[in-house]
Amino acid sequence: MIMQTFLNTWKNLKNIFRSWVSMSMLIIGPLLIIAILAFSFSSSGFRNVKLGYVNEAEFEMDSLVDSLSYMGKFYPYTNLDVCKDKLMRQALHGCLHIRSLGGDRVGIEAHFDNGREIISLILLENLKSAVIEKENVIVESATEGMLSQVSSVALLMDEGEALLYEMINSLEVQRRQLVDARARIHDAETKYDNALYDAHRNYDSLIVNSGEYGEDAVDEIESARTRVTNTITMMHNLRSTALYLNDSYTADQISSNINYLEDIEDDLWTLQYNVQSDMGVYKSRLGDVDDILDDADDAQVYFDDALRELNTMIITLDSRLVSLRSTKDKIYEQKNKMKEVAGMGTDALLHPFEFEYKPLFSGSKRINKEITPAVAEISEEKKRDLINYGSTQILFPLIIAILVCFIAVILSNIIVLDEMHSPAYFRGFLIPAFRQVFTASLFLTSFVIMFLQIGVLLLVAHYSFYLDVFENIWTILPVVVLIGVVFSLYGMIIAYAVKNKASSLLVCTFLLVITFILSGTIFPIERMSAFMSALAGSLPFSVSVSMLQQSLFYGIPLSQMGNQFGLLLVHVVFTAIVLAIVRFISELRKGRLV
Amino acid sequence: MKKEAILEFKGISKKFGKQTVLSNVSFSIYENEIFGLLGRSGAGKTTLLHILLGLVEEDKGVILYKGRKIRPNSFAMKKKIGFAAQDTSFYPKLSVEENLWYYGRMYDVKRKVLKERITRLLELFSLQRARKVSASKLSGGMKRRLDLAICLIHDPDIIILDEPTTGLDIILSDQIWDMIKRIKEVGKTVIISSHILHQMQQHCTTFGILDQGMFYDHKGLYSFAKKHKIKSLERLFVKFLQ
Ligand SMILES: Nc1ncnc2c1ncn2[C@@H]1O[C@H](COP(=O)(O)OP(=O)(O)O)[C@@H](O)[C@H]1O
Ligand SMILES: [Mg+2]
């Protein structure tokens, strides 16, 4: 029995390995998937991530942007709504709303599209840690700032102290100088007073004496005396003459006259002497007055000097006042800063940022309408269910796309294979009809079935999950149909290329697996390597998921997703061409020319 | 009176890779004949028929239809030929009538004409009672009759049957030959390939043998038979191929 089991296993293995498709799918398939995985996820960076910010806090963004530059590019916006609109259209990955919360505290509202859940969560995580890092830097620098404030206050106090010491010293010196000056002024004052008194007295006596003699009194007296002496001489001659003449009387007469004249001469001598000495006293008095006047001049100089010294003292005092005032201002400023810091509170000091996550999508309009109290006569339980739906709604674009792709690939593959393996397939070659007619009708067949299933899916999404399907039906339907068409064509291509049913299904499964790997649902496209990111981003699955997210969550119309829609159309055309080629080769291979 | 050849093969050659299947095959088939194409398994009978049907492209040679060179692959030619392969070929999930209707419409038969023709064919092949039955539920003989009916649905001039009785029991084979005779009676030309010689001897009006790429027509065969005094085709066949 064991032998039989092994024998069968051996036979089965042979069977499998002799079909090149199964073999390549079994061996190359997993390797291919691993290679794609390795190639896609070899890089750790981000691709094409764009973040907008609205800075209402005059917040210095540079360092935050710098520390997040590995994640993507930052674009400033002036209006949050504009930024959020871009976010809805998936032109941005997030919007940061930066507001001032008073003081140095800054509020960061991170608006992210929770519809694109995985990449949003990753970006949010990175953003958060960058903010915390930045916060730490700010706290550190704030602490450093405080410490430097404290030390600058200490420095200021040192400065003030030195200044006050200097002031005291200079004030003491100035006081001494002032006392000195006062003494000297006092001195000068007394001197001046005395001199003035003397001057007055001398002046008075001068006034008194000056009335007795004229300026030439001495000369007059002398000439008078000379005339008297001459007369005496003349008289002596006269008496000699008289004697000679023996006129004794006359001689006697003359002698008595001579005696008289000689008395007068003596008197005149005395008078001349007196007048002369009186004149000397007067002159010395005049000199005294001159001296006094000189003294007065000296005193004036003293006064001037003293005044000048006082002026310098005032200037010095003024400059001291200026530096004192500036020191006072500095101390005031520092005091205020310290008061601010003291008033900040520990929390604001340790958490300068208030970080808040704002998911962009908060449930469909229909759910929100149901929940609003105006309409609401709904029970709490129902309300809870509805809110719960709101969070599951995020998955719907993905679910719809996955189901459509699954259905489309497998269905079209099976339909084509069924036809090819049908006994009637052969007769098809005899019928006068183009082969394309059969291919087209096979496509239409799978399309009709797919369309019905899409319809059911959308109805369920609308009625059971409260998504805004009907409101956006003219966006959702074309997108869903196009992605369905593309994947139907994939399924048909696989069927024509791999005719064995099991192998064909295996290839379909691999295709779906690869699609999901590159869809960004398992691993965000933004984190893939550059080439794979570009490739994955333009694959029909990710494009249609993106379009469904935009329209289902935010009601963005098809007309505003022209590029993506165009890309889907390109995929349809391209895949159709590939199908035509593969179908042609496949039917040629049998040795038949159709 | 020399009858006009409805089909003429001239110098048809075909190789699959290095294997020569047909080499310079030339012969004619005349109107309202039942032409028997004989040959061992793998002699190239199907290949020759497929060339006529445009399913396989010949390497060399031409085919004339009523004296005119034709492209077997053309829609005009396809409309003139009805073919039934060894395996029946129709949609098992469709009913007998649905199959006939589908193929009739695919051959662009007008609805009115088609309706009448289906009734006639159902009658001809005794399928009236099974008209609503899904094709997969038919018995082996009925399936073959349905295949023949489909082969006639567009009223072709030439009916080609590739081993129509191979694998069938005697009773079913007889039924089929009965049908073939009826088809001939309507004025069609029938080409049948087979290796069941006694049936061919019994029903065919003309023969040809394919062997190792060469074709031998019935004149050659008759003279060969006379020379060797062979009466049964089977004997002739074995002797000839030696
Ligand atoms: N599409 C093909 N490719 C390669 N060889 C073929 C092909 N069709 C037929 N053959 C070969 O051509 C030969 C003739 O086959 P066939 O015409 O089917 O013979 P018959 O119908 O007389 O039994 C066979 O040996 C077969 O292997
Ligand atoms: Mg054959």
Of B196 and A576, more confident: A576
Q: Is B235 an interface residue toward A (CB < 8 Å)? A: no
Residue A593 pLDDT grade (very low, low, confident, very high; cuts 50, 70, 90): very low
Q: Which residues of A touch B57 (CB under 8 A)?
A: 593
A523-532 per-position pLDDT tens digit: 888 888 888 8
The 10 Å Cβ neighbour count of residue A267 is 13
Residue B114 pLDDT grade (very low, low, confident, very high; cuts 50, 70, 90): very high
Residue A344 pLDDT grade (very low, low, confident, very high; cuts 50, 70, 90): low
CB hemisphere CA count around A224 (13 angstroms): 16
State CA A5 to chain mean position distance. Answer: 77
Q: Do residues A250 and A308 make contact, with C-beta atoms less than 8 angstroms apart?
A: no
Contact at CB, B56 and A426, closer than 8 angstroms? no
A396-423 per-position pLDDT tens digit: 888 899 999 999 999 999 999 999 999 9
Lowest mean pLDDT among A125-134, A201-210, A499-508: A201-210
CA dist A143 to A105, A428, A543, A564, B167, Å?
15, 86, 49, 51, 100
User: Which residue in B56, B89, B106 is closest to A423 by CB distance?
Assistant: B89
Atom of ligand 1 nearest to the CA of B45: 22
Ligand 2 centroid from CA B85, angstroms: 9
Query: B1-79+194-242 architecture in CATH?
Result: 3-Layer(aba) Sandwich (3.40)
Q: Is B161 an interface residue toward A (CB < 8 Å)? A: no
Q: Do residues B164 and B84 make contact, with C-beta atoms less than 8 angstroms apart?
A: yes
- For chain A, the straight-line distance linking the first and the last C-alpha, in angstroms and rounded, comes to 51
Q: Is B78 an interface residue toward A (CB < 8 Å)? A: yes
Q: Give the domain ranges of chain B.
A: 1-79+194-242
User: Which residue in A426, A429, A432 is closest to B107 by CB distance?
Assistant: A432
Distance CA(A203)–CA(B180), nearest Å, equals 185
| pLDDT at residue A594 in the model | 39
Task: Sort A375 into a burial class: Cβ within 10 Å, 0-12 / 13-18 / 19+.
Answer: exposed
Which residue's CA is minimally distant from atom 14 of ligand 1? B44
Q: Is A422 an interface residue toward B (CB < 8 Å)? A: yes
CA dist A299 to A290, A302, A417, A563, Å?
14, 5, 135, 104
Q: What single-letter DSSP state applies at residue A51?
A: E
Mean pLDDT value across chain B: 89
Distance CA(B14)–CA(B22), nearest Å, equals 5
- CB pairs A-B closer than 8 Å: 48
Ligand 1 centroid from CA B240, angstroms: 22
A21-65 per-position pLDDT tens digit: 777 777 787 888 888 888 777 767 788 889 999 988 877 778 788
Residue B232 pLDDT grade (very low, low, confident, very high; cuts 50, 70, 90): confident
Mean pLDDT (whole number) for A87-95:
91
A162-205 per-position pLDDT tens digit: 877 877 787 777 777 777 767 766 776 676 677 667 666 766 66
User: DSSP letters of B136-183?
Assistant: GGS-HHHHHHHHHHHHHTT--SEEEEESTTTT--HHHHHHHHHHHHHH
Closest CA to B96 of B123, B75, B73: B123
| pLDDT at residue A374 in the model | 58
Per-residue exposure over A92-108, b if at least 16 CB sit within 10 Å of its own CB, e if not: bbbbbbbbeeeebbbbb
Residue B1 pLDDT grade (very low, low, confident, very high; cuts 50, 70, 90): very low
CB hemisphere CA count around A363 (13 angstroms): 19
| pLDDT at residue A299 in the model | 65
Quick one: tokens of A285?
């008095």
Which helix (H) or strand (E) covers residue B16, if one does?
A: strand B5-16
Q: Cα distance from B88 to chain A (closest Cα, Å)?
A: 7
CA dist A382 to A283, A576, B78, Å?
135, 47, 67
Percent of chain A past pLDDT 70, that is, above it, reads: 87
E strands, A262-308, in order: none
Percent of chain B past pLDDT 90, that is, above it, reads: 55
Q: Helix-strand-coil percent breakdown of chain B, rounded to 5?
A: 40, 25, 30
Q: Do residues A85 and A360 make contact, with C-beta atoms less than 8 angstroms apart?
A: no
Q: What single-letter DSSP state applies at residue A76?
A: E
Complex-level ipTM:
0.91
Mean pLDDT value across chain A: 82
Q: Do residues A129 and A67 make contact, with C-beta atoms less than 8 angstroms apart?
A: no
Distance CA(A263)–CA(A268), nearest Å, equals 8
A491-519 per-position pLDDT tens digit: 999 999 998 888 899 899 999 999 988 88
A302-341 per-position pLDDT tens digit: 667 767 777 777 787 777 778 778 877 887 887 777 777 6
